[in-house]
Chains A and B, each alone.
Chain A
Amino acid sequence: MADNSAVEFKNVSFTYPDAKKSVLHDVSFRIKKGLWTALIGHNGSGKSTISKLINGLLIPDQNEKSEIKVEGIKLTPQNVWNIREKVGIVFQNPDNQFVGATVGDDVAFGLENRGVPRDQMLDRVQRVLSDVGMLDYINAEPANLSGGQKQRIAIAGILAVEPDVIIFDESTSMLDPNGREQILGIIKKLMLEKKLTIISITHDIEEANLADEVLVLNDGQILAQDIPAEVFSKTEMLREIGLDIPFTEKLISKLDQIGIKIPQNVKTKDELKQYLCQLNLKK
């Protein structure tokens, strides 16, 4: 079988030490290569556990059927460092992942760890900083940067080691709208230019709406995996598990309440706009 999945989980469970209940129960899913997949679920649904399992920061519960594959390679304690070459994670807190004393130092950190020769290092640091639009800040110290800028540096640091998969683990949740927009803009750009696989873990529904695929997680189990329009049309399910629904769906159900029925096939914001404008012409 030609393997087109970037990440594959088979029967994976995970229990934190000392916890009575597992956070993930027997989870199986595949994340397609070259796509942007959003992983949504309320706090404590096990989203972030998944990202740490993918690059071996956490180890799944013992189970012989259990398997995690990244880019077709099965994750084992022996090859965990090879897997980390392929997967980069941008974490939630902009401050707590900034290791270097200056922007340049921080971006170079991953390269230093891999023993990349210095002349190549300088080139790559410059290149990835211009990819995220932060080249002017190469000598800046983190204390003088905004949250959004620090996250851009975190992205640059990961791009520098040229992974296949980048996980954004709630990376925008501590940012202001401006910072969030910058990060989402960069994600979109990366998708287009670098053909990376993007996994974004979020509970921002509008952010998930931008993805190619959405994976819904609730209490350690996968509830749905589909294109955003399909997932978000299941408004009942989303409400039940405490997630918000996107604006378009909210409006459709509000209109429905006051007697304006919107056909089933109208799902996205643009479709709704078009439909309403046509309706207005006909009257």
Chain B
Amino acid sequence: MLAFSKVIQPKTVAEAYEAAVKNKMAPLLAGGCWIRLGRRIWPVVIDLSELGLRYVKEENNEFVIGAMATQSDVEQFEPLRQFVKGIIPAGIHEILGVQFRNMATMGGSVASRFGFSDIIPALLAVKTDVVLANGGRMSLEDYMTYRDRDILVEIRIPNHEVPVAIEALRISRGDFPYLTGSIRKDETGYAVYVGTRPGAPMKAVKASALLTEKGAAAAKEAGELAAEELNLQKNSHASKEYRQAMTKSMVVRLVKEVEAWN
């Protein structure tokens, strides 16, 4: 388990950021769901539970999710069940069990940038932004490669209905997915994202451009391009070849789903 001898409990985001910078190696404790998987002994951890960041609300035509809101808080937030056919709660619902989702925070889920995340592909598809204590507001897509020591404060989703679809492929229910993906179709064209490569979700840039140029008729070609352009690797859940084959199918399925949107 993760062991520590001291805990810092900041009361404000500014204090938390200051503590994070001062204690550069200290883990930030959010929901704590993987706390028992660690083996290191840390002199200090920074607990984020007293920052007042557990909320989900609508504000200025955006859904605003505090970093300490749990996955269950979001899953049960009725306006998000109505938004883009409820893909955000649907993505969350597949994650392990109720107890886990009652503890896991949205901030922890996003900031960890886990490759196997069910949530991140869905959030990418709806053009989510994040707000950081020091880095300010940036797109989630940019945040995926942001490496500065910072505190994730909020997740902001524009309340803008556009055709989107998500997929998560699993060996069995309750397991981690071995491949995830999402798609968005708006006035600028298509955007396809693939996760659990097993690396963190990222945009299939060439496949997205091809779909934007040629439309849904190029779905099969786009799937092949996505499988080729992304760095798909093996892990305990799937081989590289299996992921490549399933990426082709998944992209075709995503295109079909987003085209069937009405």
A, B in one complex: no
